[in-house]
Amino acid sequence: MDIKLNFQNPAEIETECLAVAVVDEGEGSANKAKVMTADAEVRNAAHELIASGEVTGKIFETNLIHKPHGLKAKRLLLIGAGKAKNFSTYELRKVAGTAVRYLKPKSIKSFAIVAPDLASGVVDSIKSVVEGSYVADFDPDTYKSDRKDLAMQTVTVVTDADKKIAEEAVREGRAMGESQNFARVLVNEPSNRMTPTILGQHAKKMCDEVGLKCEVYGADKIKELKMGAFWSVSQGSDEPPALIVMTYEPAGAPKEPVLGLIGKGITFDTGGISIKPADGMEKMKYDMAGGATMIGAMRAIALLKPKVKVIGIVCASENMPSGKAQKPGDVQIAMSGKSIEIINTDAEGRLVLADGLHYARQLGATHMIDAATLTGACVVALGSVNAGVFANDDRMYERFSQANKLAGEKMWRLPLDQEYFEQIRSSIADIMNSGGRWGGAVTAAMFLKEFVDTTPWIHLDIAGTAWIEDNKSWIAKGPSGVAVRSIVEFTREYAANGGLK
């Protein structure tokens, strides 16, 4: 998809369709719905429909006017953006996405959209439109034999901003949107076409394209590093594991701080010997979404070039039942030297992350973020609306929370109280890999915390938000690419402020 800029008055633009946001100004306004542009001709073209009460500004409401009076556009698309007092980048991304997904089935390959004024500024407005457009253009029907090419070819962003500022905003929005979609492409692939080896190949190819250093190691290196927790998950599969290490080190970046991004890359999760029910198991191809998130984030970081060293690590494996697979009751020794009693082989994500986190520290990470589709318990707690956030450092969490809001992704902090550790204390080893039913998302985070030591760290449990169960007006059913934008925004702020010293 190509993004263009247009600095004309919206009424003068010749296009298949001109899209504008409409907000609900609430009771007391002359017309409850307000078109978000200063162009009088556009507002006049929408006036009759608004005056009729058919257009209310309700979030994601769509109204299409053919041959709008006074406009050179063939169509005028009015998209509800919700309450005016709440209108922000969060809603604007989805408004832009709704425009794309509304027009695609109509075989409209190009359109223009007005970037409205936002309290946070014109850069945020343009970026949000671009990001939302890219995210909306992705569809998961890769292997349909009768697949129709409905991809949007051109989105023109209409703005009165300074040209250089607008161009930079488009560049940033494109890097974010394309990288989020890249993560979604990886997650969408079936497990027979996205093995750990193939995931490593995709990561290596991406790194070569954007100028990142990438090393992909196999079983021999994992054993050499004494990654006993990681290897214990891999040993039951005929597919070899892959330890993917991506490094971004721009010229002029200080030696410290160093940000470590660690992702769970289970390309298929049967549960191992503690096998999952058959119902819904096909979705376990998405158990590598945390790894895909970090690969996508590294891509965006390489394109946006913040002045900070970043190390991305993905521990990729299948979790399969076989005569070689680990069993409940086994004891494994992690890279850190900690001993782990295996209670449930389906609690495997925390095992690969344990060694990934320790390895990141060995490579020099001074601050770390991990992402994983880690627990069903987090889905029970937060549903599919918020991802779970855990942090051992309040200052780092506050910075991440600010980046999270800027990225427009919903996340909710959960506790790490020391009392929860008692649930994973083992009588035969240092810790158990499962703390039982109660507080499962928290006990999983407590397990990971054992491999972080005092390093400032954030854990993202994205189990409930990495996969979208139903089509939305702004995004297709399937992989969401959640957390890519939040991690990249945090990295940029982290670089701009010299880390978290």
State the amino acid at position 180 in one-letter form.
Q
Catalytic residues: 276, 350
How would you class 465 by CB atoms within 10 Å of its CB: exposed for 0-12, middle for 13-18, buried for 19 or more?
buried
Predicted pLDDT of residue 260: 98
Chain CA centroid to CA 63, Å: 30
pLDDT computed for residue 249 by the predictor? 97
**Cα–Cα distance measured from residue 5 to residue 8, given in angstroms and rounded to the nearest whole number:** 9
Contact 312, 336 (CB under 8 A): no
pLDDT tens-place string over residues 31-79 = 689 999 999 999 999 999 999 999 999 999 999 999 999 999 999 999 9
Task: Establish whether the linkage from the previous residue to 277 is cis, with ω within 30° of 0.
Answer: no
417 burial level (CB within 10 Å; 0-12, 13-18, 19+): exposed
**Model confidence pTM above 0.85:** yes
Tokens 């990934």, residue? 356
Q: In what order do the strands lie in the sheet with 213-217?
A: 213-217, 242-248, 309-319, 258-269, 367-372, 457-461, 387-391, 411-413
Q: How far is CA 245 from CA 6, 250, 260, 298, in A?
A: 41, 16, 10, 11
What pLDDT score does 8 carry?
A: 97
The amino acid that residue 51 corresponds to is: A
Give tens-digit pLDDT for 75-97: 999 999 999 999 999 999 999 99
Write down the pLDDT at residue 54: 93
Mean pLDDT taken over the chain? 96
Each residue of 308-331: pLDDT tens digit?
999 999 999 999 999 999 999 999
Q: What are phi and psi of 28, to 5 degrees?
A: 100, -15
Helix (H, G, I), strand (E, B) or coil at 488: helix
Q: Which residue shows structure tokens 């703390």? A: 435
pLDDT of 4-33, one tens digit each? 999 999 999 999 999 999 999 986 555 689
**DSSP 8-state secondary structure symbol assigned to residue 275:** P
The pLDDT tens digits for 362-388 are 999 999 999 999 999 999 999 999 999
CB 241 within 8 A of CB 218: yes
**Bond from prior residue into 257 cis (ω within 30 degrees of 0):** yes
Q: Which helix (H) or strand (E) holds 113?
A: strand 110-114
DSSP 425: B
The structural domains of the chain, ordered by start, are 2-157 (3.40.220.10), 177-496 (3.40.630.10)
Residues 208-222: tens digit of each pLDDT: 999 999 999 999 999
Question: Given a cut of 70, is residue 284 above it in pLDDT?
Answer: yes
